């Protein structure tokens, strides 16, 4: 089944403790992206990647890192999480940046 998977689905952590949210797609998509969704603010893009080893900032990149060492994986790294990064995170992928993006199930993060 073609899909985007994210792990973990739920995470509670404390301020400053590094964490990684993984994202994997099995559709051979070149383009991958991370969004966060917050009440009243909608979905906002954090980082995106047009292909392996090519990443770029979205609208809200502060406090996040990403890497794209393989085509299928696009992990989101929070080196020192803070409470304002409490949010619902979605990974998405597509064939190139100009095509329909397919979303993962989401990761709900709470930073205490």
Partner 1 sequence: GESVGLHLPTLSVQEGDNSIINCAYSNSASDYFIWYKQESGKGPQFIIDIRSNMDKRQGQRVTVLLNKTVKHLSLQIAATQPGDSAVYFCAPRGDQGGKLIFGQGTELSVKP
Q: Which residues contribute to the site for partner 1 (CB under 8 A)?
A: 4, 31, 33, 35, 40, 42-45, 48, 50, 56, 58-59, 90, 94, 96-98, 100-106
Distance CA 55, CA 104 (A): 19
Q: How far is the CB of 101 from partner 1 (least distance, A)?
A: 6
| Angle at the Cα of 33 from the Cα atoms of 67 and 15, rounded to 5 degrees | 65
Distance CA 99, CA 112 (A): 37
Q: How far is the CB of 20 from partner 1 (least distance, A)?
A: 19
Distance CA 44, CA 56 (A): 14
**Identity of the residue, 16 or 38, whose beta carbon is nearer to partner 1 in the bound complex:** 38
CB 87 within 8 A of CB 38: yes
**Identity of the residue, 69 or 98, whose beta carbon is nearer to partner 1 in the bound complex:** 98
**Identity of the residue, 14 or 40, whose beta carbon is nearer to partner 1 in the bound complex:** 40
């Amino acid at each position: 089944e073609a899909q985007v998977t994210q792990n973990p689905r739920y995470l509670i952590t404390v301020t400053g403790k590094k964490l990684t949210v993984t994202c994997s797609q099995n559709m051979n998509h070149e383009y991958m992206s991370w969004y966060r969704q917050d009440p009243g603010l909608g979905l906002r893009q954090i980082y995106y990647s047009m292909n392996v080893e090519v990443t770029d900032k979205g609208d809200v990149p502060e406090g996040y890192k990403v890497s794209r060492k393989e085509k299928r994986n696009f992990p989101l790294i929070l080196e020192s999480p803070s409470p304002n990064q409490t949010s619902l995170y979605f990974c998405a992928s597509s064939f190139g940046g100009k095509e329909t993006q397919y979303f993962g199930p989401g990761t709900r993060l709470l930073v205490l």
